Amino acid sequence: MEKRQIFGVFALLAVTAAVVCGAGPGPGKKQSTPPEGEAVLAAAPVARVEGETLPGTYDFDHDGAPETVELAHCQYPDSPAVEVTDLHIVNKAGETLWTAFAASAHAGWNSLFACTLEGEDYLLEYHPTMYQGWCDYTYRLFSLGADGEELVLRESAVSFDINWGSPLGHSFDPEAIAAFMEEVNGLLAQSRLLLTTDEALEDMDPEHPRDTLWWLLEDGSGYPTGYTYEETASMEANLRAYAAAMEQP
């Protein structure tokens, strides 16, 4: 593992977006710094970060030349509880082709994988987002253009909630959730984890990633009342059993 000390200017922009604004501009999008942001940068303590180059090479832009993946982990003196990680795709010339960030703060959670389909490398971005039981699960599978632009091959999303009886309404479709998860896990089966700060995925095997829905597993016995997760059943069957138990008075 290559260790080095570098200045985390991009990471500082990222943590400002993640913590102050609640979200960054997203992978592959340029960060812009408004005048007030320049004052924040000038006043903020400079953080030094530890970098590493992940093992392996990829060809995300499909030009036949190898790229490497570099991470820079940063913690700021004024926000020691928040860690930000910058991910850089670096081409053969040593230039950054594309960059993204992930933060330990919930608003900045991110997960990125290297996915290989039919011999071609792609980036897979997966967000199983949940706030107080309201869920928006999304993924994007994309390659990179010559200038680092994202060329989306496939993307999908599913929204639902696990708030039975909520006055705000309720939506839970086991078939749709299971179909989305089957699609995601099919891609994850051909992927390697590059980076995640999502607590729901932090125990994932980086070489054999799979999302089993932590809230569906729970403790496996009696949650909710009358529900037991069945290892041999399909995800859709477990989702239906979960819903049936939740609907009980």
pLDDT at 232 over 70: yes
Asked whether the predicted pLDDT for residue 22 surpasses 50, the reply is no
> Does residue 28 sit in helix, strand or coil?
coil
Helix (H) or strand (E) holding 20: none
CA distance 59 to 104: 28
pLDDT in tens, 179-225: 999 999 999 999 999 999 999 998 999 999 999 999 998 655 556 78
pLDDT band at 47 (very low <50, low <70, confident <90, very high): low
The answer to whether residues 191 and 209 touch, using CB atoms and an 8 Å cutoff, is yes
Give the residue with greater pLDDT, 2 vs 115.
115
Tell me the range of 42-51, 54-63, 159-168 where mean pLDDT is highest.
54-63
Mean pLDDT confidence for 68-74: 94
Angle between helices 235-246 and 174-188 (to 10 degrees): 140
CB 69 within 8 A of CB 57: no
Q: For residues 59 and 70, give the distance between their C-alpha atoms in angstroms, rounded to a whole number.
A: 14
**CB-based contacts of 141, cutoff 8 Å, min separation 6:** 115, 122, 123, 124, 152, 153, 154, 155, 187
Say how many C-beta atoms besides its own lie within 10 A of residue 216's C-beta. 18
Query: Which is more confidently placed, 25 or 248?
Result: 248
Lowest mean pLDDT among 30-34, 67-71, 157-161, 222-226: 30-34
Distance from chain centroid for Cα 236: 23
The pLDDT of 3-15, averaged and rounded, is 37
Report pTM. 0.79
